[in-house]
Amino acid sequence: MSRFELKPRAHALRKSGKSILEISRLVGISKSTSSLWCRDVELTPLQRNNLREKMIRDGHAGRLKGAQVNREKRVSALEGAAVWAKSIMGSMSKRDRLVMGVALYWAEGSKAMTTTGFVFVNSDPSMIRSMYEWMVNAIGVPKEDISVQIFINEIHRYRINDVLKFWSSLLDLSPDSFAKTSFAKSVQKKVYDNHDKHCGMLRLTVRRSTLLKYRVLKMIEIIKAGVAQVVRANAS
C-alpha cells in the first residue's frame, strides 16, 4: 500500500481517538511520520481524557510486569545462593560454632577494658538466641549466671508484657528471671510500621565474668592474627 493510501487511514484512526503510537503500529509507519500526518487532527476532550487514562493504565501494567520480573530474578538468585552457601558451608563443627560466637562478640559485645564482665546487646532475635545458646553450650556458662534485661523506648511501656513474653519464649526463660526493664526517655518523632512488633534490645550479662571476657577477647586476638596472616600471604 502506498503512502498516499496510508495517510487517510492514519487520519481516520486519529479521529477515532487512537494514540500516535497505536497509529504507527497499526498503519506500519514510524512514530514521527504518524505524528506528522495527524498533527492537524483535533481530538475531543473525551478522547484526550481516554488517552491519558490509557497511558496511566499501560504504565501501571508495565510497572507490575517489571516488578514481577524483578521478583522472579530475586527468587532465582536466592535459590542459587542457597545452593552455593550449602555447598561451601557444609555442616558446622564444634570449632565452627565456637568461632561463630567469638565473631559475634567481636562485632556486638562489650570489649572495652574499662567495663567489667561479659556483656552482649542486640535487637536481632536470631543473634540473641545464637549468642545465648553459644554461651550455654559452647562456653559452658550456667544459665543461672546469665542476667537478661530488656531495653526499649518509653512509648512501648503499655505493651511491655507482650515484649517480655516474646523474649522469654525465645530463650525459654521464665519472665521472673528478667531484670527490671530499662525504658529510654528519648522522644521518637517517627512512628514505624513495625511499632506493634518492635521488641527493643536485649542485654545478656554473665555474672562474675571478667575472666570469661578476657578469654573471649584473647580468642578475638587469635582470629585477628589469623586474618592478618592470610592477608600477608595473599599479598606476597
Are 12 and 29 in contact by the 8 Å Cβ rule? The answer is: no
Those residues whose C-beta lies under 8 Å from the C-beta of residue 196, and which sit 6 or more positions away, are 159
Q: Is the pLDDT of residue 2 over 70?
A: no
Q: Can you give the pTM of this predicted structure?
A: 0.67
Percent of the chain scoring above 70 in pLDDT:
96
**Mean per-residue pLDDT for 68-79?**
90
Distance CA 192, CA 184 (A): 17
pLDDT tens, residue by residue, 12-45:
888 888 888 888 888 888 888 988 888 888 888 8
Are 104 and 130 in contact by the 8 Å Cβ rule? The answer is: yes
pLDDT tens, residue by residue, 103-142:
999 999 998 877 779 999 999 999 999 999 999 999 999 9
pLDDT tens, residue by residue, 140-183:
999 999 999 999 999 999 999 999 999 999 999 998 899 999 99
Per the model's pLDDT, the better-predicted residue between 232 and 82 turns out to be 82
pLDDT at residue number 191:
67
- pLDDT band of residue 206 (cuts 50, 70, 90) is very high
**Mean per-residue pLDDT for 187-193?**
68
Measured in whole angstroms, how far is the alpha carbon of residue 92 from the centre of its chain?
A: 25
Q: Is the pLDDT of residue 228 over 70?
A: yes
Task: Strand 182-184: give its sheet, edge to edge.
Answer: 118-122, 201-206, 146-153, 182-184
Torsion, Cα 164 165 166 167, to 10 degrees, reads 50
pLDDT at residue number 1:
59
Q: What does pLDDT average to over the chain?
A: 88
Instruction: Kindly report which listed range (27-31, 63-67, 86-90) carries the lowest average pLDDT score.
Output: 63-67
Instruction: Kindly report which listed range (7-11, 96-100, 116-120) carries the lowest average pLDDT score.
Output: 7-11
